[in-house]
Each structure stands twice: as structure tokens, then as C-alpha cells.
Amino acid sequence: MKNEENKISRRKVIGGIGAGIATLAVTPLIGNAGAPANQKLGYDMEDPRVKFPKPPFKEQSQPWPGLASQMNPRPDHGETSYRGSGRLKGRKALITGGDSGMGRAAAIAYAREGADVAINYLPAEEADAKEVIALIKKEGRKALAIPGDLRDENFCKKLITEAVAGLGGLDILVNNAGRQQTRPSILDISSDDFDATMKTNVYAPFWLTKAALPHLKAGSSIIATTSVQATDPSPDLFDYAQTKAANTSFVRSLAKQLGSKGIRVNGVAPGPIWTALQVSGGATMEKLVNFGGDTPLERPGQPAELASIYVQLAANDASYATGQIYGSAGGGGQP
């Protein structure tokens, strides 16, 4: 009787296994090629080709330096999407050009990662800057708005002094502000234009870094916004491209100089990113309408898509990354 019961039990077990195998045979595996697009698997899978707007874009222009809040479509800086996890808790950051573009995305992300943040911008960008300050304060972080023109060396020194005083120190400096104006020929670039681009993109990071260094301790980070223009320049961005090459060398040289002090220096090299630079003279109307369409992802990037790179380069767990340029160009450009 006992042997018969054992035989029945074995048949049930084997039968159960067989049924399970049969079920697997007719049930599609998660992640199969035939699975529906963007199927949720406990986390969101997103197709990067359709995540954000694609060209053609509406013709539009603004006086330099432009406002993100008046662009169509409006850029995404992570206002509703970025989620922090305390990676920069207690840190103190100054971000130039923090009103829009990558600077705004970094400011929002830093605040949600636990940092206090000061942003610099031009007075004409006050409307955008107010939105950023409100978002930082909403996270319960200290927020400083320090408007002014970085082409003035004395203002750059004052900016560092005010940021250090207002934040109670400084350990992250993001040299992000930039000037970009399209010109078809070198003959169309006036000396005043050339000077303005050089002072904004090259002189200002030099002045700011010199003023900030006495306040930076081991573990601090300096981050520069460079560009794919540094290595693959467009003919109509002759002066801008030179400044981005200078920013790249700034990172690589200064990292070697400051490594012995425990201060890391890195850069972010965006490709075509949908920012106010483009609508305020940074691109021809033809290029603007089709902006980013020639990349493998067939669209421009959004500032929000670079926010995590700025966080990573400032975070302690990236402690061996220095002298590096991190690209984000939708599959095109270098590095």
C-alpha cells in the first residue's frame, strides 16, 4: 500500500513538472523579440528615438541670450522627471548658465540629490532663473540667484565670493555658461563678437576657477561643459568651436595639475541639445527646423538627458574619473 502511494506521489510530481514545462513552451518569455514595445517589466523601458520631440520644428527666433520658457517645444530639464537619491547630500555647488539648458538640468538634479545650489545667469534671463530657484527651494535646499556678466573679471571674482558666503562653502564648480552665434564666414565675425565669445567661454572659466581654487578641498569637483564641436566643428561655428576645444584642453590639463590636491576635473560634451542657444542666434533657421534630425536617434537631445552625467561627475563614487570628457550626442560626434 505504501509503495502504491509513493508511485502516485511520483506521478503527481512528474506530471506537475511536465505541465510547468508545457506552460513555458506556450508562454512568451519576457523580453522576447515579439513582446510589445515599451512593455513594463517592473521598470519602464523607453525607446530613445521617440522619448522626446523630433524635427521638423517650428521656425522661431529670440534675441540673445534667449529664454527656454519661450521656446516651442519647451525644453525638458527634468523638472518633473528627475528623481534624486541623496548622492550629493550636503554638497555646495555653483553653476554658471544655471537658468536654462544643461546648467538648469544640473541645478535641478543637484538639488534633488541633496546639494545647495547657486546659479549665475544674465539679467535678461531672470524669468527662467526664477523658475530654477523655486525648484531648488522646493527640495528644501538653499538656493542662490547671482545674476551678472561673466565677461567681466571683477564680476567673476565677486560671483565666487558671494557663492561661498551664501552657501557656506563651495565644493562643486560647473563652468557651463556659453555663447554661440552662427556666422557663415570668418569674414562675418567682428572683433567684438569674437571677443564676447572668447570671454564668455574661455576667459570666464579661467577667472572663476582661479577665484574658486582657494575654497576647494580634496574631494571637490570642477566640471566644464564642452561640446562635440571641439573635435568635429561646424563651418558656421568657427569661433565657438575653438572655445570648446579650449574647454576640452582646460579639463585635461587642469586635471593633471589638481590631481595631487584631490580635486577632480571633468567635462561634458553635448551634441545637438534643444536649448535657448539654438533659437537666439546659435543656429541658422534651416538647421533649427531640422535640429538633431541627422543623428542616429533622429532627434535632438534634451537637457534632462544629461543631468545624470553632471551628477555622476560630482559624486563621490566617481572618484577615479578625472581628466575625462563624457559625450552625449545621440550616436553622433565625439568623444
Three-class DSSP labels, 60-87? CCCCCCCCHHHCCCCCCCCCCCCCCCCC
- Determine the pLDDT at residue 52: 97
* CB-side neighbour CA atoms (13 Å) of 304: 14
Of 3 and 61, which is predicted with more confidence? Answer: 61
pLDDT above 70 for 166: yes
pLDDT above 70 for 73: yes
Task: Give the three cell numbers for residue 15.
Answer: 506530471
Q: How confident is the model at residue 38 (pLDDT cuts 50, 70, 90)?
A: very low
User: Averaged over 140-164, what is the pLDDT?
Assistant: 98
Q: Express as a percent the part of the chain with pLDDT over 70.
A: 87
Q: How confident is the model at residue 335 (pLDDT cuts 50, 70, 90)?
A: confident
User: Averaged over 51-73, what is the pLDDT?
Assistant: 97
Which candidate, 173, 120, 113, 45, places its Cα nearest to that of 312? 113
Q: How confident is the model at residue 5 (pLDDT cuts 50, 70, 90)?
A: very low
Positions annotated as catalytic residues are 240
The pTM of the whole model exceeds 0.85: yes
**Using only C-alpha atoms, what is the Rg of the chain?**
25
Of 31 and 5, which is predicted with more confidence? Answer: 5
Contact 314, 221 (CB under 8 A): yes
Domains of the chain: 1-45 (no CATH), 68-328 (3.40.50.720)
For residue range 89-119, what is the model confidence (pLDDT) as tens digits? Answer: 999 999 999 999 999 999 999 999 999 999 9
Please classify residue 231 by burial: count the beta carbons closer than 10 Å to its beta carbon, then call 0-12 exposed, 13-18 middle and 19+ buried.
Answer: middle
- Determine the pLDDT at residue 43: 65
Please classify residue 190 by burial: count the beta carbons closer than 10 Å to its beta carbon, then call 0-12 exposed, 13-18 middle and 19+ buried.
Answer: exposed
Please classify residue 157 by burial: count the beta carbons closer than 10 Å to its beta carbon, then call 0-12 exposed, 13-18 middle and 19+ buried.
Answer: middle
Contact 272, 295 (CB under 8 A): yes
- Determine the pLDDT at residue 162: 98
Task: Give the three cell numbers for residue 50.
Answer: 521617440
Mean confidence (pLDDT) of the chain:
90
